Amino acid sequence: MQTPHRVQLSFGGPVTPRVKALLIITVAVFFLQAMAASLFGLHLEPWLGLVPYLVLHRFFLWQPVTYLFLHGGLLHLAFNLLVLWMFGCELERVWGGRFFLKYFFVCGIGAGIFVALLTPAQASLIPTIGSSGALYGLLLAYGLLFPNRQILLWFVLPIRARHFVLIIGALAFYSTLTLPGSGVSHLAHLSGLAIGYVYLRGWGHVRRLQRRYLEWKLKRLKKKFRVIDGGNDPDKPPYIQ
């Protein structure tokens, strides 16, 4: 018997179209980044990463977009791809591809803009790379839409999605204040969370998306059951197979 407190390991499932496209583009850019550095000694991070000084003073306006697809190594790449697949696929199935992609870039680009504006001057020439700002926005959305869904914190500890979002939000806020030079853009993480929350709550998307989720879940249930006419006897209930 299933209970509300039972842990469900709900990984991403079949890859959805927009998530698949983002995965392919990210992997392709990573290999391009690696090949350019190893074969030609050309480092793409200052050009395609997010360098606050270049965005604000040299108008490298493409960087708040392109920085999302660069990564600092295989571990960084693998973790971000895993998070995108685990949480992004279900969000895309519920939302639809267009809104999912729009939300992903709103959080990612918005986080990049905040990093460009709020990075201290002494660190303004250091590139920021990776899709973590957008992914933190996806985690926030997942916690809002599926607050009681249980996930594994660090792949070990079962925890409700809403509590998980609160924990990572608190850690991002604390790290932004205390670890500005750690090499991890905690500001991008915190910005992705904040932008995702304001976008979903401020524009009233959460209720519409929750309603869409319920409609999608109802359609799935209907596919599992087929109602067959019980015959000519009006008092005989239909047979549900």
* Predicted local distance difference test score (pLDDT) of residue 36: 96
Strands (E), the chain: 150-153, 157-160, 227-228, 239-240
Average predicted confidence (pLDDT) for the chain:
82
Question: How much is the average pLDDT of 95-100?
Answer: 94
Q: Name all domains of the chain by residue range, CATH numbers in brackets.
A: 17-203 (1.20.1540.10)
* Predicted local distance difference test score (pLDDT) of residue 177: 64
Q: pTM of the prediction? A: 0.79
CA distance 162 to 139: 9
Q: Look at residue 226 and give its three-state secondary structure.
A: coil
Number of neighbours of residue 235 by Cβ within 10 angstroms: 5
Q: Quick: pLDDT tens for 11-23.
A: 567 899 999 999 9
CA triplet 131, 136, 139: central angle to 5 degrees? 130
Q: What are phi and psi of 151, to 5 degrees?
A: -125, 170
